[in-house]
Amino acid sequence: MNFKENVIKTIKERKSALCVGLDVELNKLPAVLKNEKDPVLKFNKEIIEATKGFAAAYKPNLAFYEQFGTKGMEYFEKTLEYIGDSVIKIADAKRGDIGNTSKKYAQAFFEHFNCDAITVSPYMGEDSISPFLDREDKGVFILALTSNKGSFDFQMQKMADGRYLYEFVIEKINSWNTKKNCGLVVGATHPQMFEGIRRSAPDLPYLIPGIGAQGGDLENTVKYGFVKNDVLALVNSSRGIIFASDGADFAERAGEEAKKLRDQINSCLK
C-alpha cells in the first residue's frame, strides 16, 4: 500500500481528517503536572488518550522536543509509541539538505523512529528530496504554501511567466510523485488559493496547518482543498486542542476540542 492509499484508508476507517499537533511548551503545561517526573510525557500521553478517538493523524513538531536535548529525543520516541500504529504519525521536521544528509534524515525518521511521514523543505531542489521518496509506503509532505506571514516573502512572488513561485514548486512536486508518496503542506490561511492548488495537484494528499490559533478558514479550506470521494487532506490543529485548558481538565477539554473540530470538518464535507 502506498502512502496516498494509506491516507485515504485511515481517514475512511476513522471517519476523521483531523491531525493533532503535539507541540509541547513547558510554560503552558497544566500546574497539575508540575510535580511529575516527566511532565512532557505525562501530558502527551493524556492528550493522545483523550483525542485518539477523533484523530486520523498526529504531528509532533521536532523543535519542541529537540529543545530538551537528548531527553527530548527520548520524549519524541516515547510519544510515537503512545500514538501507536492505527493512525498516521507525521514527523514535523522540515528537513531538506544535500542528498547524503537527507538520506540519513530519511533513515532516522522512517527506519529508526518508524514515522509514516515527514515534512520537508524543497528549497535545495530534487536531490535534497529524493532520498525521502525511496519508499512508497512513507509519505513526504513538502512545503508549498505555508500558513505564516513570511510565506509572502518567497512563495507568493511572481515569476517571469506570471506564475507564483509556489505554483512552480507544486508542478515540480507532481513530477516527483512517481511512487504516490508526495504530499503538500498548504496553509489554511490561504483559502482563496485552494481551488487552484487542488486543480493543479488533484492526486496529492494535503497537510493543512493554520486552523485554530492561526485563524485559518475551515469552511473554504474543506470546500476547495478536499477531494470528497477519497478525502485527501489532513487538517492540523495544535495549540487550539492541546492547550484548550491549563487546568486539571486539560485532557478532557482537549478531547472535546478534537471532537468538535473533527465534527466541523465532517459537516463541511457533507
pLDDT reported for residue 211: 78
User: How do the pLDDT tens digits run along the chain, 270 residues long?
Assistant: 999 999 999 999 999 999 999 999 999 999 999 899 999 999 999 999 999 999 999 999 999 999 999 999 999 999 999 999 999 999 999 999 999 999 999 999 999 999 999 999 999 999 999 999 999 999 999 999 998 889 889 999 999 999 999 999 999 999 999 999 999 999 988 878 888 999 999 999 999 997 765 556 788 888 888 876 778 999 999 999 999 999 999 999 999 999 999 999 999 988
Tell me, what's the pLDDT at 217? 78
> Most distant CA pair in the chain: distance in Å?
59
SS3 assignment, position 20: strand
Tens of pLDDT, residues 145-194: 998 889 889 999 999 999 999 999 999 999 999 999 999 999 988 878 88
Q: Which residues are catalytic?
A: 94
Is 87 in a helix, a strand, or coil? coil
CA dist 137 and 120 (Å) reads: 16
Question: How confident is the model at residue 56, as a pLDDT?
Answer: 99
The correct answer on CATH 3.60.10.10 for the domain covering 3-269 is no
Domain boundaries, the chain: 3-269
Asked if 198 contacts 208 with a C-beta cutoff of 8 angstroms, the reply is no
